[in-house]
Amino acid sequence: IAGITQAPTSQILAAGRRMTLRCTQDMRHNAMYWYRQDLGLGLRLIHYSNTAGTTGKGEVPDGYSVSRANTDDFPLTLASAVPSQTSVYFCASSPARVPGANVLTFGAGSRLTVL
């Protein structure tokens, strides 16, 4: 079934550790995104990529980095995790190169707890 695969599904992490959340899509979508979801705050954009080889900062990029080496993969890295990064992380993709110009397909999410 075509879609987005995220890994891990959940993770408990000690503060200060490095963590990479993986995201792979098989729909050949141009644009990919990382959101974090916190209660009462909805979905906030961390980083995005309009097309392979390019990335951009979203609303809450501090403490996170991304790369887009190819069309399918868009990993999110926390260089040194802090408790405020405890959240549910969703990867999403859309066909369009221009964010907002098309519909988002979301992955199942990765629940991260930083202690």
Which residues of this chain interact with other proteins, rule CB under 8 A? 35, 40-45, 48, 58-59, 90, 98-101, 103-109
Q: Where are the beta strands (DSSP E) in the chain?
A: 4-7, 10-13, 19-25, 31-38, 42-49, 56-57, 64-66, 76-78, 87-94, 105-106, 110-114
Residue 11 or 105: which CB sits closer to other proteins? 105
Residue 14 or 39: which CB sits closer to other proteins? 39
Smallest separation, CB 72 to other proteins (Å): 19
**Residue 40: DSSP 8-state:** T
Smallest separation, CB 29 to other proteins (Å): 13
